[in-house]
Structure 1
Amino acid sequence: MFDYETMTPKQLVAELDKYIIGQDEAKRAVAVALRNRVRRGRLPEAMRDEVSPKNIIMVGSTGVGKTEIARRLTKLSGAPFIKVEATKFTEVGYVGRDVESMVRDLMNAAISLVKAEMEKNIQAEAEKRTYDRLLDLLLPGTKSHHKEQSEEDEPPRISLLSENEEAQESEEAVIARTRAKLLERIKSGQMDDHKVELSSKGGKGGSIMPGVEVFPVGLGGMGDGPDFSDMGQQISSQISAMFGGGKKKVVSVKRAYNILMQEEREQLIDQDAVIEIAKERVERRGIIFIDEIDKIISSGSNKQGGEVSREGVQRDILPIVEGSMVNTKYGMIDTTYILFIAAGAFSNSKPSDLIPELQGRFPIRVQLEEMSVAMFEQILIKPQNAITQQYIELLKTEDLFIEFDESAIKRIAEIAYEENRLQENIGARRLHNILERILETLSFEATDRGGEHILIDATYVDRELKTKEREANDLGKYVL
């Protein structure tokens, strides 16, 4: 995870360049927007409140990199980040997701982010406590010193030491050595399949009472009310706590370790601190990527039914982008300084077709380039996660070694460009479709062809694609 607060715009663009070909204008705009968040934080408080985020609209057809830029931002930003689709929302008064849910989702993402960071700091202590509890389950007669247990309830003590060893040492030393030997077995995995009896807990850090499920009623369009998204889980946890937890169950040591580890993490982490830090990060550094924003533009002057609802969604998004207080289960969230990045193909519309008030809240507009043959060639080989390299590594797991020469790369790029021109333009996604067709036979036969080395050139590409085209035509005779 990178921390964009220490990265310059040039460094941010350099990181994006490792995965995204071209689209320099979009990458620069995003890098500057992120850096401006850092600059704002360094201003005097009076001035800081006057500086609002410079929200961005990215315009470009499908498959040109809009979503990939958003995905990479998630890894680079180190800030709470979510991607939502504008088409998933409905206007207040209609059944469906209200637009305020995007802020609640962002807060949930921030909670997960902060908890993950805190878990790293308490990992060692959580592991120690977890192993102590596992030893208590496996050797109930040798409770660790921090556990309390009445003598009358104490089961017979189990020892891994010989009688001579026990006779020569005090009881405390015998217990310590027994637990130490068993701990070695647990850590080495020798005890993974051994069964232990575990009590499920209600409330904080535990599971809800078995057999009880509560399904909250959907309250679509109730954006101004409280957050009911986790009502079912909360009620179930309260019922479980009222009845003193759950029932005992027998699980493997490996499974018990995971359950107990999660409980100990929950116990060691200050939940109030998590919420406070997450809330501050959302309000100061949060980023929401709204995809397909062009799909909520009304198409024409005669607005009826769904057309009205689309414009209604825009009007519902407006106050959140402008800055408003949104109610979540963690408290009220101020959206004033959240950075919004919108994206859309705008094939049948343009950004100026959005309602004027919403347009004004996205002052930066970036036009992404259409994919060319040269860009396709670069996409196939240059990024760290290049799709040709992905296929090479996948087949290598079966000891089948393939190699793409320059003629194959050029031919695949040319075919992708031509198919996008003649059929629906799906941008770089066309490359995945073509490579699947080229490598389908090899992928199917890989387990039987281990040890082979295959060079994929332009001739191989043409032969495989013609074969697939012929098979598709033959199959078409039987399709009504």
Structure 2
Amino acid sequence: MKYEKHIKLDEALYTFKSANPYFEKKTEEIFCEDLMNHSEQIDCAVSKTMFQELSYNSYNFQVLDKSNILLIGPTGTGKTLLAKTLAQCLDVPIAICDCTVLTQAGYIGEDIESVLYKLLKVADFNIQRAQMGIVFLDEIDKIAREAKGRSMFKDVNGEGVQQGLLKMLEGTIVNVPEKGGNKNPRGETLQIDTTNILFIGSGAFPGLDKIINERCCKNSLGFGAKISEPYDENSTDGRVLHQCDPIDLVKFGLIPEFMGRFPVHVCLDALTKRDLIMILTEPKNALLEQYRALFEIDGIELIITEEALDVIATKALEKNIGARGLRTVIERILLEPMYETPGSNVVAVLVDKKAASGETRPRLFRKEELSKAIHV
């Protein structure tokens, strides 16, 4: 049984690495380690529950605590994809939750318990399966508390949400409304134990690099003093994020108690042009293969040259929105061919360097023209 489990875990690790070939080695190591730890924690919880039901002594069972993860990186670097791949490898439900709509209990907005209702819904209201799932808290940097003196009202979207999440992150039994929505004292509730639910926080944390730079590059006076370079707000170098400490996140606006419940910090660098080309071509569900399949529905072959891929990646990099910029660039290039070719006698669409850069339109080939173009 244990041998079969390790075989499945090895397959999951291989799936994770092959689906995300462009992630740096350090990020891959941390996530693969957490994948194995969460798998062991689930097995330990199931075994302990089974022995308790059989009235056996569970004293010798070692309790494995979870390690919640905080993802820090620019937009479009694959933070959500990491969490989805992790859930797919472990075969557990995952709920993607937006922190910007959460408010403290009693105020307009979604209550904190709504994140567990979403997980319960994904698990088809199977409480036992939901209690071993993953909750992905997206845009977690948006619930940072406001600076002192900025607002005269109570911070119900920031610090109030952080305080409400504390017990849920650590592990407790939460009463979740059976039909969703905000809590109603007279409504029916379901009890969910969050002890084995893995929470993954994610955010871009704009301005965090400046806080880290101020801590690490303090100027000193006197002869021989080391003078640091001035901070550049337009810099895209994300390597400074790897020097992030909890004290920097506290200065950003996350309360210390909240930070203590995310012991694992993963910093993602901004994608390079080489990374964007890999995203276009190498993953199982690569963006280029999606557009090829879209054209194949009408019996049309999509041909994109290597030089065109380089231009597309360069244009996407200039937009500074990560991998999401690739689809924006490709949509603009293929807009006219996708509109004109269905139902016509066109059998191939060629996107070369000039077409990718916008100098010319993509070339459309009829059946008799395609063989001549290939020989040329």
Answer whether TM exceeds 0.5 for this pair. Answer: yes
Partner of 1:273: none
Q: What's 1:241 paired with?
A: none
What letter matches 2:39 in structure 1? V
Q: Are the aligned partners of 1:64 and 1:368 in contact in 2 as well (CA < 8 Å)?
A: yes
Q: 1:383, 1:104 → 2: CA distance?
A: 32
Higher helix content, 1 or 2: 1
The Cα shift of 1:308 comes to: 5.0
Name the CA distance, whole Å, in 2 between partners of 1:466 and 1:415: 17
Quote the Cα distance in structure 1 between the aligned partners of 2:360 and 2:88: 36
Go from structure 1 to structure 2 and tell me whether the alpha carbon gap of 1:404 and 1:321 turns closer, same or farther (over 3 Å shift). Answer: same
SS in 1 for 2:354: helix
The residue aligned with 1:324 is 172
Counterpart amino acid of residue 18 in structure 1: S
For residues 103 and 314 of structure 1, the distance between their equivalents in structure 2, rounded to whole angstroms, comes to: 15
Distance 1:339 1:78 in 2: 13
Shift of 1:316: 0.4
Find the partner of 1:71 among 81, 84, 89: 84
> 2:331 matched to 1:436?
yes
Find the counterpart in structure 1 of residue 159 from structure 2.
311
Task: Pick the aligned partner of 1:334 from 162, 185, 193.
Answer: 193
**CA distance, structure 2, for counterparts of residue 379 and residue 51 of structure 1:** 36
- Pick from 235, 254, 269: which aligns with 1:354? 254
Cα contact 2:84–2:94 (8 A) shared by 1: no
Aligned counterpart for 2:299 among listed residues 382, 399, 408 = 399
Shift of 1:9: 6.0
Residue segments in structure 2 that go unaligned for 5+ positions in a row: 49-57, 179-188, 209-247, 363-376
* Contact 1:70/1:83, CA 8 A, preserved across alignment: no
- How big is the shift at 1:460? 1.9
Name the amino acid aligned to 1:296.
I
Amino acid at match of 1:445: E
Q: Do the aligned partners of 2:35 and 2:86 also contact (CA within 8 Å) in 1?
A: no
Matching residue of 1:379: 279
- Taking only aligned residues, the RMSD between alpha carbons, in angstroms, comes to 2.6
1:37–1:19: structure 2 CA closer, same or farther, 3 Å change rule? closer
Alignment of 1:118-133 (within 5 A): none
Query: Matched residues in 1 for 2:345 and 2:276: separation?
Result: 30
Match of 2:19 in 1: 19
User: TM-score, normalised to structure 2's length?
Assistant: 0.71
Q: Which residue of structure 1 aligns with residue 222 of structure 2?
A: none
Q: Which has the higher contact order (CA 8 A, sep 6+)?
A: 1
The 3-state SS of whatever aligns with 1:309 is coil
Counterpart in the other structure of 1:302: 149
| Structure 1 residues 316 and 107: alpha-carbon distance in aligned structure 2, compared to 1, 3 A threshold | same
Name the SS of the counterpart of 2:341 in structure 1.
helix
CA contact (8 A) 1:411 1:458 kept: yes
Query: Hey, what's the Cα distance between the residues in 2 that align with 1:399 and 1:10?
Result: 39
- TM-score, normalized by length of structure 1? 0.56
2:340 is matched with 445
C-alpha separation in 2, matches of 1:348 and 1:288: 26
Given the alignment of the two structures, is residue 426 of structure 1 paired with residue 273 of structure 2, yes or no?
A: no
Stretch of structure 1 that moved more, 343-352 or 427-436: 343-352
- Alpha-carbon distance change, 48 to 85 in structure 1, aligned in 2, over 3 angstroms: farther
Larger displacement relative to structure 2 (38-47 or 11-20): 38-47
- 1:59: how far off? 0.4
SS at match of 1:64: coil
Aligned residue number for residue 233 of structure 1: none
TM-fit CA distance, 1:463: 3.1
3-state SS of paired residue (2:117):
helix
* Residue 91 in structure 1 maps to residue 104 in structure 2: yes
Amino acid at match of 1:339: L
The one-letter amino acid of 1:336's match is T
| Inter-partner Cα distance in structure 2 for 1:381 and 1:438 | 17
Task: Describe the SS at the equivalent of 1:447.
Answer: coil
Give the letter for the 2:284 counterpart. Answer: Q
Post-superposition offset of 1:361: 0.6
Give per-residue Cα distances to partners, 1:30-86, cap 9 Å, x unaligned. Answer: 332232133233487446564210110010111000011223334332112211011
CA contact (8 A) 2:280 2:286 kept: yes
Alpha-carbon offset, residue 449 of structure 1: 3.6
Gaps of 5+ in 1: 113-277, 468-480
Post-superposition shift, 1:10? 5.4
Which deviates further from its counterpart, 456-465 or 49-58? 456-465
Report the structure number with the largest CA radius of gyration: 1
